[in-house]
């Protein structure tokens, strides 16, 4: 096979991986800080995707432009959800949290089915069929924009957590719950904020990914699993880790599809997961677990 094929596929995998990474970033914040097993993560992204579809269908607004408003909406949803429904579950055993989120996922998926019907919906912007040809390389335009947008959002989030006082407060909560209380932080509000931020991340990822992937109501669960795999591989509590994990999984899937049969490419992501869980459970960039 000519060499440029490998490069094309690798680039494609990298760009897609960045978007996966953004989605996983949201989970990293939620699971890392609030410690809730968010099994409705993919479903939240599906909501964002449908929002983008509706806005595009009725107002012709490009999802990349609507990324921030959509993220804001998801922020609100996440914030309220955490304060009302999820908060009592933080101290409950994992399977309880899991069941709660599964119930939410069922409600979300089937509500979407009722509202939008089973057919796949897509956003076809003017550049949906474009690609850039650089020599022998062909780069998909929508993927390129998606990847760039993902990096931008991730960078904004990093900046927030590193420099903003609120961001530092949240990190304090995650690092040491009691300590945070002692210092006088309003932990409950910060938890809600964190969940909201995680949801916003997912919202942005959804707005971006709808350019590449068509949305159907049952799309959520696959992405939930993907998000967990990425977060575990990249390292819990590490935001660069989530991005790195996303890129790694995106690349692996693409290259595996190229070298072996594409229908088996997901197997490799799972194989990596198993290896990481066994030999480096804190993930590639995670802090060592106590």
Ranges within 251-280 binding other proteins (CB under 8 A): 254, 257-258, 261-267, 270-271, 273-274, 277-279
84 binds other proteins (CB under 8 A): no
Cα-based angle 191, 46, 157 (whole degrees, multiple of 5): 45
Nearer to other proteins, 14 or 72 (CB): 14
Within 132-171, the residues that bind other proteins by CB under 8 A are 133, 138, 140-141
184: left (phi over 0), alpha (psi -120 to 50) or beta: left
Nearer to other proteins, 166 or 281 (CB): 281
113 binds other proteins (CB under 8 A): yes
Nearer to other proteins, 68 or 225 (CB): 225
Q: Give least dist CB 242 to other proteins, A.
A: 15
Q: Give least dist CB 217 to other proteins, A.
A: 7
Q: Supply 16's token pair.
A: 């897609």
Within 43-82, the residues that bind other proteins by CB under 8 A are none
Q: Which residue pairs from 57-65 have beta carbons closer than 8 angstroms and sit at least 24 positions apart in sequence?
A: 62/125, 63/123, 63/125, 63/207, 63/208, 63/210, 63/211, 64/145, 64/149, 64/207, 64/208, 64/211
Among 160, 218, 240, 284, binds other proteins (CB under 8 A): 218
Q: Please tell me whether residue 260 adopts helix, strand or coil conformation.
A: coil
19 binds other proteins (CB under 8 A): no
Q: How far apart are CA 270 and CA 240, in angstroms?
A: 21
Q: How far apart are CA 225 and CA 20, in angstroms?
A: 11
Q: Give least dist CB 275 to other proteins, A.
A: 10
Q: Give least dist CB 8 to other proteins, A.
A: 6
Torsion of CA 82, 83, 88, 94, to 10 degrees: 10
122 binds other proteins (CB under 8 A): yes
Cβ-Cβ contacts under 8 Å for 166 (sequence gap 6 or more)? 160, 190, 193
Nearer to other proteins, 203 or 283 (CB): 283
Within 223-242, the residues that bind other proteins by CB under 8 A are 224-225, 228-229, 232
Nearer to other proteins, 146 or 169 (CB): 146
Among 1, 58, 60, 165, binds other proteins (CB under 8 A): 1
Look at the chain and count its residues: 290
Q: Give least dist CB 231 to other proteins, A.
A: 9
Q: Give least dist CB 141 to other proteins, A.
A: 8
Q: Give least dist CB 108 to other proteins, A.
A: 8
Nearer to other proteins, 132 or 162 (CB): 132
179 binds other proteins (CB under 8 A): no
202 binds other proteins (CB under 8 A): no
E strand spans, 76-202: 131-134, 137-140
Q: Supply 121's token pair.
A: 């919906």
* Residue 101 CB coordination number (10 Å): 21
Cβ-Cβ contacts under 8 Å for 236 (sequence gap 6 or more)? 28, 31, 32, 282, 283, 286
Nearer to other proteins, 68 or 102 (CB): 102
């Amino acid at each position: 096979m000519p060499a440029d094929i490998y490069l094309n596929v690798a680039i494609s995998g990298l760009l897609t991986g960045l978007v996966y990474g953004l989605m996983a970033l949201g989970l990293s914040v939620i699971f890392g800080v609030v410690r809730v097993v968010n099994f409705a993560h993919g479903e939240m992204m599906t909501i964002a995707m449908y929002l983008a579809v509706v806005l595009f269908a009725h107002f012709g607004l490009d999802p990349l432009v609507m990324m921030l408003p959509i993220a804001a909406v998801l922020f609100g949803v996440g914030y309220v959800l955490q304060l009302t429904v999820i908060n009592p579950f933080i101290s409950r055993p994992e399977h309880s949290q899991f069941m709660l989120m599964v119930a939410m996922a069922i409600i979300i998926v089937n509500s979407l089915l009722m509202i939008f019907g089973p057919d796949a919906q897509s956003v076809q912007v003017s550049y949906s069929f474009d690609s850039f040809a650089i020599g022998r390389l062909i780069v998909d335009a929508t993927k390129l924009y998606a990847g760039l947008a993902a990096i931008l959002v991730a960078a904004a989030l990093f900046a927030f957590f590193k420099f903003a006082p609120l961001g530092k407060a949240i990190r304090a909560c995650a690092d040491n719950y009691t300590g945070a209380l002692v210092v006088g932080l309003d932990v409950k509000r910060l938890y809600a904020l964190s969940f909201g931020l995680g949801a916003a991340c997912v919202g942005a990822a959804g707005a971006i990914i709808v350019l590449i992937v068509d949305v159907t109501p049952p799309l959520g669960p696959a992405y939930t699993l993907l998000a967990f795999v990425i977060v575990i591989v990249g390292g819990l509590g590490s935001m660069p880790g989530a991005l790195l994990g996303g890129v790694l999984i995106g690349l692996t899937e693409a290259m595996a599809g190229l070298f072996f049969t594409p229908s088996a490419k997901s197997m490799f992501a799972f194989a990596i997961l198993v290896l990481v869980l066994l030999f480096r459970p804190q993930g590639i960039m995670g802090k060592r677990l106590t």
